[in-house]
A and B are shown apart, each in its own frame.
Chain A
């Protein structure tokens, strides 16, 4: 039996999309505190403001993060959510699961928590939504002892890294996104669990420039797969596309009649660098001019493949608007080999180069992208020991407000006005 009237939320049970309200009600039959989740949410729908108190600092011994504390501002009305802390649990790379693993985790959560979850948080973690402070340690004990699993990150530290599905189920992945994500997560356990940074820091790994995990928009270090040799062309398959035997874009547009596939119009004319052409019935690409945008490969997955000399571009500094406005990551290393053979040494060295500098100069709650803006890209490249190249900019600056260091200018900055006046009277 429902514990509270929820006339507003009840209206979200109809319609074709799966209803979180129906799901909550089903769970409430087994976990009565879910009635209070519905109750407090209904109150928010009525009052049109949140009913969670500000902040809340809770956790487990030994860790500085992983749990987001939360308390209801109307605990008397809804005692089931008086404490309603969220636990972030570290997810496996690409979010593959066995049912055995998931069932065990669900049993634990039924025992220690509300029975509600988020699959998954935007950073990647499994989010276990709602439990009391006294349950945190017993849950953590069972999670580590019975399941061999750990918490994710929160606070001013390295957050839980995430990756696209990569080589496990995508033909375009230019490095093993799953392995590097797992390896670096293990390598940096201390940085994840014990906040030691000026602010949060995130890694994301996409296998190619389609960027299915949105690394360039959602991570401080964005590793995006690419190649540096030629796109691999299967001319016989190109002919099949032209003949209409293979669907363009893997059939992604099959719900509408866009006419017969037109290679010239749909691929050659849309290439951003105009580096493709037909020679007789052969497709040609001037790979020196190609910017590896993925369009032609996306349209003809059976005829075109990324090159074989693969690696990743590494970009730095993406963040949401607070404080200084939203940023995408900026290209810093155009091509880096990302290989397990050397334990991802080059990438690790790069990351630690950023941390060594940022942990010292980053202001309180300043994302690395903001620090880069404050000191300027030239200074950032210098501290990283990276030579400037045209690829670092979309375009050269247009204002002439250029800094020169004294040692770069003949004769230095010390001058004598008397000497100047000898040649140039006032």
Chain B
């Protein structure tokens, strides 16, 4: 028997939660949980963990495009069946990890992966670049200002050598969000790619009555730019809203709440670049990413301007930062004025904060460096 739409509540099972994780542990993990002593990265993408029992587990990490098909997952299963007793895991950055319990089993696994074309690139460990945490984009969301999967592919193609090597001063986390809801990790990443709008919402007076709760749309605006208003539709006066264009900074939150306020636009929309965020507590406290490039166009399908900007920042950092220094630590040590100079990024008014606690970000000291910015 299956689901019966005439008796929807009959036989229904609910509140099961996720399956218990323990049944999915490879045997060597089950036997050594909580007993690990140390680990080492043998080569890019390959880790070994040593247990106090003497056991070892070897992990091979591969990049994925996160947006994957049933066929792809079956291919992952084939690999795990062949080499890993039918077990595998995914990481918090959407890489896939295959584990084996002895060193001899590593090379055959690597050979299988290498035989599958470019579908299973091995890497993402140590002081390199790992997968880009990203969002839905034009594949599934209604509020994006850019695409996710396409931009990520374009950037990873260009920076691929950093995924498969460990030659940076510290690990570099890139993240992308296609609007400033920032689903994911954009506000705390070394380099962040963020979809932004630059035009205020249009108001669809003919539809707003049926589809919006006006007080919600009004309360949704961080800057109080949405106000109640009246308009005439088919000779009848209706209640609607108006947007004070001077106050609107195009966040799109009113559209999230009210379908009659769309703001997407091919020329207006594009990408901002933020840098210098981190989440770990290593040496310095977690940091927010900061806006350094206010706008780059949506040049489909390969976003060359965005790819170039990310590469430029990554390479200036790689050449200049000290060992263990994250992008944000480097920028703060040398000073942001030097960061802009070394990365060859023009500084604009848009990088100066003017929202609420903005004052804390201005320079209230005479300590600065002379750079090309001072004429």
Interface residues of A (CB under 8 A from B): 8-9, 11-12, 14-21, 23-24, 26-27, 30-31, 34, 37, 41, 44-55, 61-63, 68, 70, 84, 86, 90-103, 106, 109-110, 115-120, 122, 129-130, 137-138, 140-142, 144-145, 147-150, 162, 164-165, 167-171, 173, 176, 178, 182, 185-186, 189-190, 193, 209-218, 247, 249-256, 258, 266, 270, 272, 291-295, 298-299, 301-302, 305, 320-326, 328, 364-365
Contacts and interface: CB of A to CB of B under 8 A. Distances in A.
Nearest to B357: A325
A255 B44 contact: yes
Q: Which of B59, B73, B154 counts the most A-chain CB atoms under 10 A from its CB? A: B73
Contacts, number: 401
B306 interface: no
Contacts of B216: 364-365
B64 to A, nearest CB: 6
B182 A320 contact: yes
Contacts of A320: 180-183, 186-187
Contact of B15 (A24, A147, A193): A193
B220 interface: yes
A18 B119 contact: yes
A101 B3 CA distance: 22
Interface string B10-21: 011111111111
A23 B87 contact: no
Interface stretch (B74-82, B100-108, B225-233): B74-82
Contacts of B284: 272
B259 A55 contact: yes
Interface in B134-181: 135, 138-144, 147, 149-150, 153-154, 156-157, 160, 163, 165-169, 171, 180-181
B91 to A, nearest CB: 7
A176 B22 CA distance: 12
Contact of B12 (A19, A62, A364): A62
B92 interface: yes
Given A150-B14, A323-B220, A122 B135 contact: yes
A169 B59 contact: yes
B29 A138 contact: no
Contact of B36 (A170, A251, A321, A326): A170
B279 A211 contact: yes
A291 B283 CA distance: 9
A97 B77 CA distance: 9
A138 B153 contact: no
B219 interface: yes
B180 to A, nearest CB: 6
Of A49, A103, A150, the most chain B CB neighbours within 10 A belong to A49
Interface stretch (B121-129, B240-248, B335-343): B121-129
Given A16-B121, A99-B88, A27 B70 contact: yes
Contacts of A266: 323-324
A5 to B, nearest CB: 13
B306 to A, nearest CB: 14
A294 B40 contact: no
Contacts of B144: 50
B350 interface: no
A216 B21 contact: no
Given A11-B301, A18-B65, A193-B14, A254 B166 contact: yes
A62 B10 CA distance: 12
A102 B42 contact: no
Interface string B287-322: 010000000001011100000000000000000000
A30 to B, nearest CB: 7
B167 A141 contact: no
- Classify chain B's interface size: 35 or more
Interface of B: 2-3, 5, 8-9, 11-21, 23-26, 29, 33-34, 36-44, 47, 49, 57, 59, 63-74, 76-77, 80-81, 86-92, 94, 96, 99, 118-121, 125-128, 133, 135, 138-144, 147, 149-150, 153-154, 156-157, 160, 163, 165-169, 171, 180-188, 211, 216, 219-220, 222, 251, 253, 255-256, 259, 262, 264-266, 269, 279-284, 286, 288, 298, 300-302, 323-324, 355-357
A106 B67 contact: no
21 contacts: A12-B302, A19-B118, A26-B72, A44-B138, A49-B266, A50-B144, A55-B259, A100-B86, A122-B135, A138-B3, A145-B13, A210-B280, A210-B281, A252-B125, A266-B324, A293-B283, A305-B37, A320-B181, A321-B180, A322-B181, A326-B182
Contact of A182 (B21, B120, B167, B302): B21
B121 A211 contact: no
Contact of A258 (B66, B99, B323): B323
A270 B323 CA distance: 10
Given A49-B264, A99-B86, A328-B286, A216 B70 contact: no
Given A92-B19, A167-B34, A122 B183 contact: yes
Given A45-B147, A70-B142, A129-B140, A171 B49 contact: yes
B91 A95 contact: yes
Nearest to A256: B167
B280 A209 contact: yes
A212 B39 CA distance: 16
Question: For chain B, what secondary structure do more than half of its interface residues adopt (helix, strand, loop), or is it mixed?
Answer: loop
A53 to B, nearest CB: 6
Nearest to A48: B266
Given A18-B63, A20-B153, 4 more contacts: A48-B300, A52-B142, A102-B76, A250-B126
8 smallest CB-CB distances across A and B, nearest first, come from: A252-B126, A15-B157, A255-B167, A54-B259, A27-B69, A90-B18, A48-B266, A44-B138
Contacts of A98: 23-24, 86-87
Nearest to A22: B119
Given A95-B89, A210-B281, A251-B40, A70 B259 contact: no
Contacts of B126: 249-255
B140 A52 contact: yes
A301 B39 contact: yes
Nearest to B62: A18
Contact of B324 (A20, A217, A270): A270
B142 A53 contact: yes
A55 B216 CA distance: 15
B185 A218 contact: yes
Nearest to A130: B140
Contacts of A302: 37-38
Contacts of A8: 300-301
A65 B186 CA distance: 25
B183 A250 contact: no
Nearest to A147: B19
Nearest to B280: A210
Nearest to A124: B92
B271 to A, nearest CB: 12
Contacts of B67: 20, 23, 116-118, 129
B253 A106 contact: no
Given A93-B18, A97-B87, A294-B281, A27 B286 contact: no
A298 B19 CA distance: 32
Nearest to A175: B34
Contacts of A325: 355-357
B138 A115 contact: no
